[in-house]
C-alpha cells in the first residue's frame, strides 16, 4: 500500500481535530498556485504601470470574414520586446444561436518539444466536446454585409432588431458587448489579457515582458507537486471582464458561499474552480469544491449578461466590486485555449436560455426522482433495507428511493454484492417494486486492484495512466485502486456491459429495472493524490494531461453511466435513467442530478445550502440538493426537523448520513418531531405536480427550478441580495425556510406590491399581505411552520392524498388553488406525462393552461395526445378560491354539458367541493358573485407598520377563530 506524506499528515491532523488547518494545508491558494500567482502579479504590475504598453494587438490586415462559415478570423500578435518579434495567436469571433458571441484565441504548438514526449503538445480544445449539448450548436450567420470593418475595429449587430452589438478593437485587444449605445460587458478592459505562449526553460527570460513574473513556470513549489515536471512549461491564459453598471454577479459554482458573489480583492483565495473531494467543506468560503461551472450571470434592471469561460483546467476568478458602478472580474486558467462566450439579454431568464442553448437544459427527470430519497452510509443488509422500507409505511411517510452506499459491495468491489448480507438482491428489488419504490446503488470511478474488472480495464488499456503511460495506481475506498478513463471512447463498451440488462447471471443482468446509479468520488477523489485528486501529470486518452481535463472528467464518467443506463432501459417502460453525481461541469445537467457533498449537521450548513442550490440553479444545474440532516455528525431534533422543512424545497431531496452517525430516519426523533417531518414530506408529495411542471419548464428554457426572489422584480435592486428565500418555479409559491435555531419569527421579503396569500405549510388561511413598496413582513413561526406565501395571480395544482410513493399517486385527483392578483386575474400551468419514458419527446404529454378572473376559471390543454386521452378518469376534486367570500353560484361547462357546483365559504375563502372537472378536457367554471367581497385585498385592511417600517395592508383577517385549513388531507 502506497502511503504518501500528505496522507500521513491528513490522518494526524484529523485525529487532532485540525480540520480547518488541514484544509489550508491541503489546498492551494492563489499565491501557492503557479499560474494564479503569475497572473495576479501580472495584473498588479499592469495596473501600477504609468505608461502601459499593450503587448497584444490584432493585425488589421489579418481580419477576414470567412465567406463559408461566416466566422470573423484573424491573428492576435503577442509582441516580445526583448526578441523584437511577435508570436501569432489565431483568433475566431462567431455569433452562435441565441445571442451567444464566442471569442477564441488559439496557439499552434505543433513544433513544440515538451519535456515529456508522451504528452499531446496541442492546447486542449475539446472541452466543448463534453460540455456542449452537440457539436452542431447553430452558428447564426454573421453575414459579410452586416460586418463593419475598419483599420481599428470589426463589429456586427445581433439580437432582435439588431438591438445588440459586438465590437472587437485591435489595439489593445478589446471585445465589447453593447445594448443600444451602452457598453455592458468588456473583455480586457483592464489589459489583464495574458496568453503564456510556448517557450523552453533556457530561453524563458527573453520571452518575459516587464509585467510578468516567472514564479513556478517550469516546476512547482507547492508540497508534493514538486515532482510535477510541467512538460509544456507556462501555458496559462487569462483575461479580465468588466460588467458595466452591474453590482450583482452570480454563478461559478461550486462554492459554499453567498448567492451574490463576493469581492475577492486582497484575499489569497479568489473563487477557485477545481473539482476536489473537500469533505466537511467550510461555509462562507471561496475554496474549490466537487464541481465546476465557469458560467457567470450579471443582472441589473433592463439588462442581463452572461459569461461562459469554456475551460476545464484549474481556474481562479477574482471579483472586484470596489468600483463605484461596475464589477470587474479576472479569469485565470492553468492551460487550454482562450474560449469565451458572452451573452446579453433583457432578463436573467434570457441568459439562462442562451447558456442552455449551448450546454443543454436539465434532463426531465423521471418523476420518482423528485420524491423523497432515503440514504445513509450504510443500510447494512437486505433485512435492514426491507425493514426501513416497511417502517415508512408504518409511519405513513411517503418515499420513493432507498440508497446503498459502498458497503453493499464485497470488499468495495463495485459490481459485486457482499454475499452473506445481500443473498437475494433480486428479491429485495421486487419487494420494493410492489409499492413503486426504487433502489440506488453507488458505483465509483475507481476499481480495486486484484479484481477481475480492474484487470480487464488494464488489459483493455482504458485506465487513467501515469506520466509514463503506465496504469496509474492510487488509494480510495477499496484500498489500492485503478481508475477507468471515461474519456476513452473504448471505455463505453466496457461500461455498457457492466450495466446491461440480460438473462445472464451477471451483477446487474437479472435485476428488475427499479434501480439506478450514484456516481461518487468522480472528481476523481484519490486519497493519496495531490489536493485529494489525480496528479496533473497523469494521462488520459489522446495523451492529454489530466491538467487540461480535470474539471470535465467527472462529467465524462456520469455521462458514460447515463449512456449505459439508456441502453439498459431502452426495452422497458422505465426509460429515463436517474443518476446522481458528485462531480460536475457545465453540461452535467443533461444527464445527472448533483448534491453538495459532505456537509455537517450544523445550522450554518443548513443555511448555506440555500444560496448554494440557488447558485446552481442560475448556472444551469437546477437538479441539486444538500444532504438533509447533514452528512457528518448528529443533528439535534430541532435541526433535523428544520432541515426536512428546508430539504423538501431542494430540487433533489435526499437524507444522507455518515457511517459513524446515529440512525435518524424520520421516525427516530419521535413525537411531534416525527409528525412535523411527516407533514413536510407529505407537502413535498402534494406539490409534486408543481415540481414536475417546473422541471419540465426548466428542461425547455433553462429557467431555474427554484426561482431567485430578484427574478420577480428586476427593478427592485434590494431583492438582488435576497438569498434565503425563493419561488418554486413559476408556481407563485414563495418559501422562506427557517434556518435559525430556536426561531420564533422570521422575515419574508415581498419583492413587489402584489397580494401575497398566507400559505404556511401549504395550508390556506384567512390572511394575506400587501406592501405599498417592496419590503419585509414579519411572521411568527412555530416549529411546525414552514413559512410560505402564494403570490396573487397564481393557480397551483396539487395532489393531496397520502400514498406510499409517487408511482401510486399517478391516478389521484387534483386540488386547484386560485389566488387572484390585485387586478382580479390569475394563471398557472400543469405538466403531466407518464413520468418515466421518453415518449414526451414525441408529444405524449398534457400541458395545461389555467386562467382565472373574478367570474370564471378555465383550463385549456396545449396537447391532445394519446397519453392525454388516457387520463380520462383523473379529475379536479377541489377548487380553493382564496380571498373569495362573494360567490353566489358556480357552474361548470365542459364538452357542451353544464352542471351546478356545490361550494362553501371557509373563513376568507371559498371551497368548491368535488367539481369533477376532467383534467384532460377543456373546461370553464362560471362564477356569480354578490359583489360583497371580491378578494381579500378589498376587505377591511388594517394598516400598520411591520418590521421594515413600511406601510402595509394585511387583508381579511376574518373569522379569527377558524383554524388554518389543511391544504392536504391526511388519510
Ligand atoms: C463520499 C460521499 O460524499 C458520501 O456521500 C458517501 O457516503 C461516501 N463517499 C462513501 O461512499
Q: How far is the CA of 632 from the centre of ligand 1 (A)?
A: 10
pLDDT in tens, 400-447: 999 999 999 999 999 999 999 999 999 999 999 999 999 999 999 999
pLDDT at 933: 55
Q: Is 904 helix (H, G, I), strand (E, B) or coil?
A: strand
pLDDT in tens, 348-402: 999 999 999 999 999 999 999 999 999 999 999 999 999 999 999 999 999 999 9
pLDDT at 23: 64
Cis peptide before 148 (omega within 30 of 0): no
DSSP for 753-818, written as a single string: SS-EEE-GGG-B-S-EEEESSSEEEEEE--TT---EEEETTEEEEE--S--SSGGGGTT--EEEEE
Name the band, by pLDDT with cuts 50, 70 and 90, for residue 954: low
DSSP for 929-955, written as a single string: E-SS-SSGGGS---EEE-TT--EEEEE
Q: Given its phi and psi angles, is residue 798 left (phi above 0), alpha (psi -120 to 50 degrees) or beta?
A: beta
16-30, 288-302, 654-668, 832-846: which has the minimum mean pLDDT? Answer: 16-30
φ/ψ (deg, to 5) at 635:
-70, 150
63-77, 87-101, 118-132, 619-633: which has the minimum mean pLDDT? Answer: 63-77
Which DSSP helix (H) or strand (E) runs through 398? Answer: none
Name the band, by pLDDT with cuts 50, 70 and 90, for residue 24: low
Q: Locate the domains of the chain by residue range.
A: 31-359, 367-693, 745-780+787-970
pLDDT at 934: 45
Q: How far apart are the C-alpha atoms of 204 and 417, rounded to whole Å?
A: 56
Location of C-alpha cell 445527472: 592
- Closest Cα partner for 219 from 231, 206, 207, 237? 231
pLDDT at 947: 37
DSSP 293: -
Q: Which atom of ligand 1 is nearest to the CA of 525?
A: 1
φ/ψ (deg, to 5) at 438:
-130, 165
User: 190 with 203: CB under 8 angstroms?
Assistant: no
Please report, for the chain, how many H helices and E strands are present, in that order.
16, 55
- Closest Cα partner for 299 from 151, 450, 179? 179
Helix H, strand E, coil C: the string for 562-609 is HHHHHHHHCCCCCCCCCEEECCCCCCHHHCCEEECCCCECCHHHHHHH
**Active site annotation includes 66:** no
Q: How far is the CA of 520 from the centre of ligand 1 (A)?
A: 7
Candidate list 212, 350, 520, 937, residue with the active-site label: 520
Output the CATH code of domain 745-780+787-970: 2.60.40.1180
| CA 862 vs CA 285, 700, 811, 828, 859: distances in Å | 46, 15, 20, 13, 10
User: 923 with 858: CB under 8 angstroms?
Assistant: yes
Percent of the chain scored above 90 by pLDDT? 86
Q: How far apart are the C-alpha atoms of 475 and 6, rounded to whole Å?
A: 12
User: 614 with 708: CB under 8 angstroms?
Assistant: yes
Assess whether the region 31-359 and the region 367-693 belong to the same CATH fold: no
220 lines ligand 1 (CB under 6 A): no
Mutate to test the pocket of ligand 1, among 520, 522, 583, 661 (most ligand atoms within 8 A of CB): 520
**Active site annotation includes 334:** no
pLDDT at 503: 83
Q: How far apart are the C-alpha atoms of 704 and 685, rounded to whole Å?
A: 20
442 lines ligand 1 (CB under 6 A): yes
Q: How far is the CA of 17 from the centre of ligand 1 (A)?
A: 20
406 lines ligand 1 (CB under 6 A): yes
**Active site annotation includes 627:** no
DSSP 707: E
DSSP 965: B
Q: How far apart are the C-alpha atoms of 696 and 700, rounded to whole Å?
A: 6
β strands within 826-931, DSSP E: 826-832, 846-852, 856-861, 875-881, 887-894, 897-900, 902-906, 909-918, 923-929
Longest dimension (CA), the chain: 92
Task: Please state the rounded mean pLDDT for residues 257-267.
Answer: 97
405 lines ligand 1 (CB under 6 A): yes
pLDDT at 720: 98
- Closest Cα partner for 729 from 708, 750, 713? 708
pLDDT in tens, 678-706: 999 999 999 999 999 999 999 999 999 99
Q: How far apart are the C-alpha atoms of 383 and 61, rounded to whole Å?
A: 75
- Architecture of domain 31-359 in this structure: Sandwich (2.60)
Q: Between the CA atoms of 672, 675, 681 and 682, what dihedral angle is there, to the nearest 10 degrees?
A: -140
Domain 367-693 homologous superfamily, CATH: Glycosidases (3.20.20.80)
| Contact residues for 361 (Cβ-Cβ < 8 A; gap 6+) | 589, 590, 620, 698, 699, 700, 701, 702
Q: Given its phi and psi angles, is residue 445 left (phi above 0), alpha (psi -120 to 50 degrees) or beta?
A: alpha
DSSP for 64-98, written as a single string: EE-TTT--EEEEEEEEETTTTEEEEEEEEEEEETT
Q: Is the confidence at residue 961, as pLDDT, over 70?
A: no
pLDDT at 22: 53
pLDDT at 136: 74
| N-to-C CA span, the chain | 57
444 lines ligand 1 (CB under 6 A): no
Task: Please state the rounded mean pLDDT for residues 277-293.
Answer: 93
280 lines ligand 1 (CB under 6 A): no
Candidate list 523, 833, 877, 937, residue with the active-site label: 523
pLDDT at 502: 87
pLDDT at 879: 98
Amino acid at each position: 500500500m502506497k502511503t504518501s506524506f500528505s496522507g500521513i499528515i491528513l490522518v494526524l491532523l484529523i485525529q487532532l481535530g485540525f480540520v480547518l488547518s488541514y484544509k489550508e494545508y491541503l489546498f492551494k491558494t492563489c499565491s501557492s498556485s503557479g499560474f494564479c500567482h503569475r497572473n495576479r502579479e501580472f495584473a498588479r504590475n499592469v495596473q501600477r504601470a504609468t505608461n502601459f504598453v499593450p503587448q497584444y494587438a490584432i493585425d488589421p490586415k489579418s481580419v477576414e470574414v470567412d465567406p463559408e462559415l461566416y466566422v470573423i478570423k484573424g491573428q492576435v500578435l503577442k509582441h516580445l520586446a526583448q526578441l523584437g518579434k511577435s508570436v501569432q495567436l489565431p483568433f475566431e469571433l462567431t455569433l452562435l444561436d441565441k445571442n451567444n458571441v464566442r471569442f477564441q484565441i488559439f496557439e499552434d504548438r505543433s513544433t513544440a518539444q515538451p519535456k515529456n514526449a508522451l504528452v499531446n503538445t496541442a492546447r486542449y480544445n475539446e472541452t466543448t466536446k463534453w460540455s456542449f449539448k452537440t457539436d452542431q450548436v447553430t452558428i447564426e450567420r454573421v453575414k459579410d454585409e452586416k460586418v463593419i470593418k475598419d483599420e481599428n475595429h470589426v463589429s456586427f449587430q445581433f439580437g432582435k432588431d439588431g438591438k445588440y452589438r459586438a465590437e472587437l478593437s485591435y489595439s489593445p485587444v478589446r471585445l465589447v458587448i453593447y445594448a443600444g449605445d451602452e457598453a455592458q460587458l468588456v473583455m480586457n478592459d483592464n489589459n489583464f489579457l495574458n496568453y503564456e505562449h510556448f517557450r523552453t526553460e533556457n530561453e524563458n527570460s527573453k520571452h518575459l515582458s516587464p509585467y510578468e513574473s516567472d514564479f513556478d513556470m517550469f516546476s512547482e513549489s507547492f508540497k508534493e507537486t514538486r515532482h510535477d515536471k510541467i512538460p509544456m512549461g507556462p501555458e496559462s491564459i487569462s483575461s479580465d471582464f468588466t460588467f458595466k453598471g452591474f453590482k450583482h454577479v452570480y454563478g461559478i459554482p461550486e462554492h459554499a458561499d453567498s448567492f451574490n458573489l463576493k469581492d475577492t480583492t486582497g484575499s489569497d483565495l479568489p473563487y477557485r474552480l477545481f473539482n476536489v473531494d473537500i469533505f466537511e467543506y467550510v461555509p462562507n468560503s471561496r475554496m474549490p469544491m466537487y464541481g465546476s461551472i465557469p458560467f457567470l450571470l450579471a443582472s441589473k434592471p433592463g439588462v442581463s449578461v452572461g459569461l461562459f469561460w469554456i475551460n476545464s483546467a484549474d481556474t481562479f476568478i477574482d471579483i472586484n466590486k470596489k468600483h463605484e458602478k461596475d464589477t470587474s472580474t479576472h479569469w485565470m486558467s492553468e492551460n487550454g485555449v482562450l474560449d469565451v462566450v458572452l451573452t446579453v439579454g433583457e432578463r436573467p431568464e434570457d441568459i439562462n436560455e442562451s447558456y442552455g442553448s449551448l450546454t443543454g437544459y436539465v434532463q426531465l427527470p423521471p418523476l420518482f426522482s423528485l420524491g423523497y430519497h432515503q440514504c445513509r452510509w450504510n443500510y447494512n443488509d437486505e433485512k435492514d433495507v426491507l425493514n426501513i422500507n416497511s417502517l415508512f409505511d408504518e409511519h405513513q411517510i411517503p418515499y420513493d428511493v432507498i440508497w446503498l452506499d459502498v458497503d453493499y459491495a464485497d470488499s468495495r468491489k463495485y459490481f459485486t454484492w457482499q454475499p452473506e448480507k445481500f443473498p437475494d438482491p433480486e428479491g429485495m428489488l421486487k419487494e420494493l417494486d410492489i409499492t413503486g419504490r426504487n433502489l440506488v446503488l453507488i458505483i465509483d470511478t475507481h476499481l480495486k486492484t486484484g479484481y477481475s474488472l480492474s484487470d480487464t480495464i488494464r488489459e483493455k488499456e482504458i485506465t487513467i495512466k501515469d506520466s509514463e503511460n503506465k496504469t496509474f495506481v492510487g488509494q480510495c475506498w477499496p484500498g489500492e485502486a485503478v481508475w477507468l478513463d471515461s474519456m476513452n471512447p473504448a471505455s463505453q463498451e466496457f461500461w455498457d456491459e457492466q450495466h446491461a440488462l440480460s438473462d445472464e447471471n451477471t451483477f446487474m443482468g437479472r435485476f428488475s429495472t427499479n434501480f439506478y446509479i450514484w456516481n461518487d468520488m468522480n472528481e476523481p477523489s484519490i486519497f493519496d493524490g495531490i489536493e485529494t485528486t489525480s496528479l496533473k501529470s497523469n494521462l488520459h486518452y489522446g495523451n492529454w494531461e489530466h491538467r487540461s481535463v480535470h474539471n470535465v472528467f467527472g462529467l465524462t464518467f456520469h455521462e458514460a453511466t447515463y449512456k449505459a443506463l439508456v441502453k439498459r432501459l431502452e426495452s422497458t417502460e422505465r426509460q429515463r435513467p436517474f443518476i446522481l453525481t458528485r462531480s460536475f461541469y457545465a453540461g452535467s445537467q443533461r444527464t445527472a442530478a448533483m448534491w453538495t457533498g459532505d456537509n455537517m449537521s450544523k445550522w450554518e450548513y443548513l443555511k448555506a445550502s440555500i444560496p448554494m442550490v440557488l447558485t446552481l440553479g442560475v448556472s444551469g444545474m437546477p437538479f441539486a440538493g444538500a444532504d438533509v440532516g447533514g452528512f457528518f455528525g448528529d443533528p439535534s431534533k430541532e435541526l433535523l426537523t428544520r432541515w426536512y422543512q428546508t430539504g423538501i424545497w431542494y430540487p433533489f431531496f435526499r437524507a444522507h448520513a455518515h457511517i459513524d452517525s446515529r440512525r435518524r430516519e424520520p421516525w427516530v426523533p419521535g413525537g411531534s418531531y416525527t409528525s412535523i417531518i411527516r407533514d413536510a414530506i407529505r407537502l413535498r408529495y402534494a406539490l409534486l405536480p408543481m415540481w414536475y411542471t417546473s422541471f419540465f419548464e426548466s428542461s425547455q428554457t433553462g429557467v431555474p427550478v427554484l426561482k431567485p426572489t430578484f427574478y420577480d422584480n428586476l427593478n427592485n435592486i434590494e431583492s438582488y441580495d435576497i438569498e434565503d428565500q425563493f419561488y418554486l418555479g413559476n408556481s407563485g409559491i414563495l418559501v422562506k425556510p427557517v434556518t435559525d435555531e430556536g426561531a420564533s419569527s422570521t422575515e419574508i421579503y415581498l419583492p413587489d406590491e402584489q397580494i401575497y396569500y398566507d400559505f404556511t405549510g401549504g395550508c390556506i388561511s384567512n390572511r394575506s399581505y400587501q406592501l405599498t413598496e417592496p419590503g419585509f413582513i414579519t411572521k411568527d413561526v412555530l416549529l411546525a411552520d414552514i413559512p410560505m406565501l402564494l403570490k396573487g395571480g397564481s393557480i397551483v395544482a396539487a395532489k393531496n392524498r397520502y400514498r406510499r410513493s409517487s408511482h401510486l399517486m399517478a391516478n389521484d385527483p387534483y386540488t386547484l388553488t386560485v389566488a387572484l392578483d390585485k387586478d382580479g386575474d390569475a394563471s398557472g400551468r400543469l405538466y403531466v406525462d407518464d413520468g418515466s419514458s421518453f415518449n414526451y419527446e414525441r408529444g405524449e404529454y398534457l400541458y395545461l393552461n389555467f386562467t382565472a378572473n373574478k367570474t370564471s376559471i378555465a383550463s385549456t390543454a396545449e396537447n391532445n395526445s394519446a397519453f392525454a386521452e388516457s387520463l380520462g378518469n383523473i379529475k379536479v376534486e377541489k377548487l380553493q378560491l382564496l380571498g373569495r367570500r362573494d360567490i353566489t353560484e358556480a357552474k361548470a361547462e365542459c364538452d357542451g354539458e353544464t352542471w351546478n357546483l356545490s361550494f362553501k365559504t371557509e373563513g376568507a375563502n371559498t371551497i368548491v367541493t368535488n367539481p369533477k372537472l376532467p383534467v384532460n378536457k377543456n373546461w370553464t367554471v362560471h362564477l356569480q358573485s354578490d359583489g360583497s367581497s371580491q378578494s381579500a385585498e378589498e376587505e377591511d385592511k388594517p394598516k400598520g407598520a411591520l418590521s421594515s417600517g413600511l406601510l402595509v395592508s394585511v387583508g381579511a383577517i376574518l373569522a379569527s377563530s377558524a383554524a388554518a385549513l389543511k391544504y392536504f388531507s391526511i388519510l
